[in-house]
Structure 1
């Protein structure tokens, strides 16, 4: 049973008892509010009275003045525009989605790899979107979001600095360096016109049974993850970019990927408080502005209901118990965990009723908007709840715009990315110092990783030879080359003189290679760090942030 703050719980219950509706359906008239407070006349069974939006508290970023401005701006919007304002949609193509934002009055958009064709194009598209919205009379920014976690979850890949997976930060164990790295990443994204990054990943991984998070997590220790999440949030925020911590209440301890089904979380509430919730509590206590709620069936809180659509999870666990007062985002509503059951309109209304503020990527954003409008008009969704969500969204965007921005050119963070990889690289077997390879090496693994290894080796002065060839019986054979095997997250146990885990380190446990190393990334900086260790020019200072069965040690 949850331990809610009584006043907040009563206010939430009272909110859900309120109903508001009008005479027209979502395709009918969309008038502006007539009251000075931006309120609408109540309909339903009584047909009388007016109301104002619920309070939006401070303590999560925006000042009282920014919240008042947001309240005034939202108060001037039509019902349909308010509904659009709480939606962040995906889009097609590489052109700025100006028409989509204008038609639905969207709160924002999120970009994926198919929308991005290089740093220059990204910056031009994002600038065009903001200019178009301003010309249309919008007095606050459009949210322009991206999933740029580092490692294998990086949507912008051309012309920008590549950062290793977040597990590198857990292995390095240096919050100051983490802050610096994520400030650099945020500054580059800000320079490209993004306002929000859906990172850092705040999940505590359970290990190999975790199919979705893996190296996106800083580790399996709640305290370790909490320290790195807090540092990453502070780094992003210092650049002027808004971080969104995810996936509340913790995706790292379930064994189903919510992209494909609804994971069941069997842990008790006490277990959740002791492990999964620890990083989120730390982020909330540090003043994070935004939290993404994942799609999980948390049996101890609200059985068989996706947590993103659960009032007990969002309003109860996140807001009442953890004290979060900022903007709550759903995870993508295109994911099978919710899309297969509820559709765009149904999931949108349920999420708002649960206490969410921003609906991320409904499969059909128009249907989601119209579903919200219809629900307000027929009394299934209190307008006060919609208004509160829209005010939080606009206040966040005003606050982000008004902060001191520290943009940096794309690609400028290479040094700190290299230093983070060098601090996190981990040796679990073999000598802890000295040269680990001979004068010639033969490398195998994924083609992209082999190419980056070759480039780093060339810069370091190490010769990489091709596949072994048979020689004649009496021919002089060259000295044997050291074999280096690179293994990504899809690979299994590997043989070689040196085996390198490029993502999750669990593959090292099944290998018998005399030298086994984890880099947690395939960035140029990660390969520079690897070559420095192989050539004995640097040690591997990192320690495994997760348990790996079958390795002699967790680091040097």
Structure 2
């Protein structure tokens, strides 16, 4: 029976065993002695009685999604767990080809991301039929016991990947309309369409805010210069995607709008005080968490008021202390793409992958550069082997990822557990 209770990791702003079942085993008592008539009383030897077999303690089936995930995790190898922390891209439009296929197989890569070159948007159907075939091939290229998260950027406006009819309006247009119902309806349609072709994670909404959006590289991808409007429309986008059955990921935490530099090319610096960030840049993210956003993507940007040393994707003060503890976010923390110069000009990719996880991140995104994917996978494996990445820390992220996958309702985890009765080596 497919698990009925499917849980997501709902987020809200926070402040601040199965009991052992006792089985009593019945044991036979010897018969009472009987008198022998006209003779000296003798105590007869009682008939031998067999000692009953102890009643076996039945295995108790997990009752919650969390218990099912924990049960499944006991069957996973370290490499299978590490693979759940990777979301990799690839080149091609029909299948995952080498060298990517070999890397994904060798390192049990558990998730995929699609970019524009993966979608034949010029097709008569806008690329949706081709995408459906592609996602089916992707599923066969990852751990077959666990369905992959397959992500894509569909934000509206210029970032839509497919050819839509009608074309989704941009985030900027949604902000100007100030119509939360329209925003929700647009993204419910988007979410349902993505799910219909096998894509279950939309890397939207963009929740960066700027007083001069058109002076930033994000331009019309920014909802509004008003943080309150951005928060309202952003929450409507999240609700719409959920109504369409699709996961959502807000970005680029803790806010990319305070700089006109592009983290694809350089390492930007947002030189704002903590108070300024809290009263402006973080406002839409607080709203997104309250609206149950599934994931938050962290930027390759330096915020000296929060961490004077490291960019957000390497920063425990930002990802753990601020996002997890102070803001109470319980969902997935994603990196921005590890191909970007905002990261690679300051850090070696393999070392950065380990640092991202140790600082509190859950899933590393890396597009179609096989050398970088190889470096990420090898570095994570080495960190797990030498103890820098502890099993406890690894399991924290793996559990979050698997719970989110289970919430989609497409994973028969009961069957998966039954099929893996012996722990993987």
TM-score (norm 2): 0.76
Pairs within 5 Å for 1:477-516? none
Q: Say if 2:154 is the partner of 1:148.
A: yes
Matches for 1:283-302 after TM superposition, within 5 Å: 283-302=288-307
TM-superposed CA distance for 1:131, in Å, is 4.8
2:26 corresponds to = none
Greater C-alpha radius of gyration: 2
Q: What is the CA–CA distance in structure 1 between the aligned matches of 2:354 and 2:165, rounded to whole Å?
A: 38
Paired position in structure 2 for 1:390: 398
Corresponding residue for residue 120 of structure 1? 129
Alignment-derived partner of residue 105 in structure 2: 102
Alignment of 1:36-51 (within 5 A): none
Task: Work out whether 1:189 is the aligned partner of 2:198.
Answer: no
Listed as ranges, the gaps of 5+ residues in structure 1 are: 7-62, 404-556
- Point out the more displaced range, 264-273 or 338-347: 338-347
Work out the CA distance in 2 between the residues paired with 1:166 and 1:206: 15
Distance 2:318 2:141 in 1: 37
CA contact (8 A) 1:80 1:369 kept: no
Mapped to 1, the partners of 2:162 and 2:214 lie a distance apart of 29
1:210/1:256 contact within 8 Å kept? no
Q: Give the total of aligned pairs.
A: 341
SS at match of 1:370: helix
- How far, CA to CA, are the matches of 1:106 and 1:160 in structure 2? 34
Q: Is 2:175 the partner of 1:175?
A: no
**Over residues 60-82 of structure 1, what are the superposed CA-to-partner deviations in whole Å (9 max), with x where a residue is unaligned?**
xxx98223222222332211221
Q: How has the CA–CA distance of structure 1 residues 356 and 129 changed in structure 2, closer, same or farther, with 3 Å as cutoff?
A: same
Contact residue 119 and residue 160 of structure 1 kept, 8 A = no
In the other structure, the counterpart of 1:365 is 373
Task: Tell me the SS of whatever aligns to 2:262.
Answer: coil
Supply the RMSD in Å over aligned alpha carbons. 2.2
- Equivalence for 2:242: 237
Distance in 2, Cα, partners of 1:139 & 1:395: 14
Question: Quick check: 1:210–1:252 contact (8 Å CA) kept in 2?
Answer: no
Q: What TM-score do the two structures reach when normalised by structure 1?
A: 0.59
* Alpha carbons of structure 1 residues 70 and 101: separation in structure 2 relative to 1, 3 Å: farther
How far apart, in 2, do the equivalents of 1:91 and 1:374 lie?
24
Structure 1 residue 287: Cα displacement: 1.6
Asked if 2 retains the 8 angstrom alpha-carbon contact of 1:160 and 1:188, the reply is no
Counterpart secondary structure, 1:170: helix
For residues 135-534 of structure 1, what are the structure 2 equivalents within 5 Å? 138-157=144-163, 161-207=166-212, 210-361=215-366, 363=369, 364-402=372-410
Tell which has more relative contact order, 1 or 2 (C-alpha 8 A, sep 6+): 2
Is the alpha carbon distance of 1:370 and 1:358 closer, same or farther for their aligned partners in structure 2, counting shifts above 3 Å?
Answer: same
For structure 2, list consecutive stretches of 5 or more residues without a partner in the other structure: 1-13, 17-61, 121-126, 412-425
Aligned equivalents of 1:69, 1:366: Cα separation in 2? 31
Give 1:394 deviation, angstroms.
Answer: 1.4
